[in-house]
Amino acid sequence: MKNLLITCLLQILAASAALLLSMWWVPGFRVQWPGFVATVLVVVLAQAVMTPLTNWAAKRYAPAFLGGTGLATALLALVIASTIPAGVSNTGIGNWILSALILWVASAAGSAVAQVLASRRRGTPGQAAGRA
C-alpha cells in the first residue's frame, strides 16, 4: 500500500514538473493557474488508464511500436487535459509533440524513482548480503 501511495505521489510530482517545464520551454503551451491541480490530476489519471490500453494495442497489432506507447499516452493525456476548463492550451503540432515529450520523460523518471524506492523498501538479495 505504501508503494502504491509513493508511486502516485511521484507521478503527481512528475506531471507537475512536466507541465511547469512545458510552460517555460514550449512557446505556445499554457496552463492557467486555477486549473493547474485539475490538469495535473487529469494527466495522471489519463496516463494510468491509457498506458495498459496502448501497450495492449501495440503488442497485439503493432509490436514494433511498443516503445512509443508512452509518448502516445502522454500526448493523449495532454489532449484530454485540454478539454477541461482552465486546462492546457497549446498551439502548433510541434508544441504538442514537444510538451508530450517533456511529459513522457518526466513520467518515465517518476516511474524509475518509484521502482528504486520500492526495491529498497522490500530489499534485494544483493542488499541482504551486504552488497549494493
Number of domains in the chain: 1
pTM of the complete model: 0.81
Nearest to 43 by CA among 4, 17, 74, 67: 74
- Cα dist. 13→40, 42, 97, 126 in Å? 9, 13, 21, 30
Cβ proximity of 107 and 56 under 8 Å = no
Q: What is the model's pLDDT at position 65?
A: 80
Domain that holds residue 73: 2-128
Report residue 65 as a C-alpha cell: 511500436
Q: What is the model's pLDDT at position 59?
A: 86
- Cα dist. 4→31, 61, 64 in Å? 27, 30, 30
Q: What is the model's pLDDT at position 132?
A: 47
| pLDDT values of the chain reduced to their tens digit, one per residue, 132 residues | 777 888 889 999 999 999 999 999 999 999 988 889 988 999 999 888 888 888 888 888 888 887 788 898 899 999 999 998 888 999 999 999 999 999 999 988 988 888 888 788 776 554 544 544
